[in-house]
Structure 1
Amino acid sequence: MSLTQRVGWRRGVFALAVAVCIAWAAIAVQSVKEIALVIGEPWEDMRQRSSAVIDPAIPGHSWFNIPKSDARLRFTDPQYGFVTPLARFFTVSFTDELVRNVRMSPQIEPLLLDDTLKVVLDLQKQWRKAGWTPIRIKEDPPFADTPQWRARLRDVDKGGTSYWQAGNQYQAMLVVGRFEDNKRPEEERYLITLALAKPWVRP
């Protein structure tokens, strides 16, 4: 095999490897399940739009259902939309076959503090960009990666809460607290809770 042939063969192998990596990445993205919704819409609209499987609503009842797999939330409001990481704890409530609220932990396991802050700061960044505003900031300021916030979150008796509002349409509550992870008893792990609904607290 000549030098030119060897160079061409190596280029071909490299191009094939790149193509395989791109294909795997595309498959991975497509395989991420999501619940795509807006608060107040018909339950069946949410089910048809979502790639994650969730049971039908029960006519005439107020209750909740849980996705059949880990799933992320895609909030599809054209102005106030955002996306969460994958969640294992994820409930969507309904009343009269309409989506009423969401309560979830946007994570699939308890996280270390650095990873916890990445999640909550990314959510806050998405909200700010989409026009959400923090409320009740005197009592519950937005999360930040500061020594003061880190110390507060490490305190098992404190933790943190932040409230956000989208116009007069939606509110979000973000809560972070220490979590005793029996699988990793020597590590500081944290649980994030996100609640989303029509406004329920005064700004």
Structure 2
Amino acid sequence: MVKTAADFTVPPSDYRIVVPDGWFQLALEPEESDASALALAEQQFHGIDNAPHLKRELTRELQRQAREAYAAGGTELYLSTLVVGPVPLSSSLLISVPPPGEWPDISGPAALSRHLELLPGRQEVGVVELSAAGRVVRTRQHREPDPARQLGNTLPTTSLSYYAPIPMTEKWLVLDFSTPIDPLANQMVELFDTVAGTLHWL
């Protein structure tokens, strides 16, 4: 039986979240991340032998993402390898616990929502209820492309973030979803909402 956030009288020992088939978990631990990035690049270029330069670029980009995610307190990073017809459904999910000193002194979801509303670029900010994880803050943001950091991507990026207070602690678990598929942004956000809805504490 899945516990709800209100059931905890001591901090949970872990969390679980269900991601779609076809989302690759990129290892973030320094001793594993390089090999994991290479494995994903090999998977993406399987059967393609005439693009070694592109495969090396992808490997380096994945390694960079893993290092930055780990430095930001990342615990898990998932990258979508799903394809519908000729269209790759590019998206990512970074799960993190912000380290001490890098998070405002916020007492709960309502206060955090008010704090985030003051930051630039947030299209939507609100408090929502997840069935097991409890009350969380949900934000949606639209960013202009940064080709230098996104393998030449020239499309706007839609980001969806969930900030979940970890029961019986002052820490937060953050789910950061992102997709550069602007024409399908709303459909991808629906998928992200569904994934976030599976979050539960152990």
TM-score (norm 1): 0.36
Structure with max Cα Rg:
1
